[in-house]
Amino acid sequence: MPHDSSARRDAPRRLAPTVVLASALVAALASLTACAGDREPAPPSASEAVTPTEDAELLRAIRPTFSDPEDVVAVAVVDGDELRTAFIGADADTAFEIGSVSKTFIGLLLAEAVDRGEVAPDDPIGEYLELGDAPAASVTFEELATHSSGLPTFPSDPDWVASVEEGFFAGADVLDETVPELLALARAEPIPPDAPPQYSNLGAALAGQALGCRRRDRLRHAARGAHLRAARPPDRDPAR
């Protein structure tokens, strides 16, 4: 659901879980500024996939399920080169917050990174993110993936909580932290040694950022090596 409807209906404890400090890969890996010396990457080019066609039959099929006047829905059915779409209270340009679906992407990226040998499950994320000596720096990928890091669902900083609650109940999209702001909140977060497992959007956000930093470091290293090989003069003929 888009920000202006789902957040109000699905909010537990007065805060919406669809947030994501973990917009993690959607924005998380695409707009990383968590790694030292990073430059803002160029945005991806527009998709040249199939052209959507609004489908009256599909609309009739979904309408009984979405009868609330506040429902905002976009449905797509992809079949080969054909893309059928239907909208209720939305159109092809409506932006939706995918919320915790992004955690699925983070988990898959972590599994792939481990398979490639880029990271290990017991790597502390402080190796990849600027967390200093904060407790969060010693948290591992495995702990983040299993929600056993001790990090809370949301940052506990009182000023942050007050600001988010005020904006949330005013209908604003308040969970829009930049990566530096995210890291600052993580650095300030205490982690009790006996903290029980807890579902953590904050932890998922940090996992996505750490994976992105590691991947980009490897790409930079590979590019630097290729540049050096290209610049190396050819071996001289020993007969000369």
Q: For residues 201 and 22, is the Cβ–Cβ distance under 8 A?
A: yes
Q: For residues 161 and 154, is the Cβ–Cβ distance under 8 A?
A: yes
**Residue 78: enclosing H or E segment and its boundaries?**
strand 73-79
pLDDT in tens, 192-216: 989 999 999 999 999 999 999 987 7
Mean pLDDT of the chain: 77
pLDDT in tens, 9-32: 333 333 333 333 333 333 333 334
Q: Which two tokens stand for residue 38?
A: 């990073």
Q: Which two tokens stand for residue 238?
A: 């020993």
**Environment class of 103 (CB within 10 Å of its CB; exposed 0-12, middle 13-18, buried 19+):** buried
Q: Which two tokens stand for residue 24?
A: 């993690």
Going across the sheet that includes 82-88, the strands are: 52-54, 82-88, 73-79
pTM exceeding 0.85? no
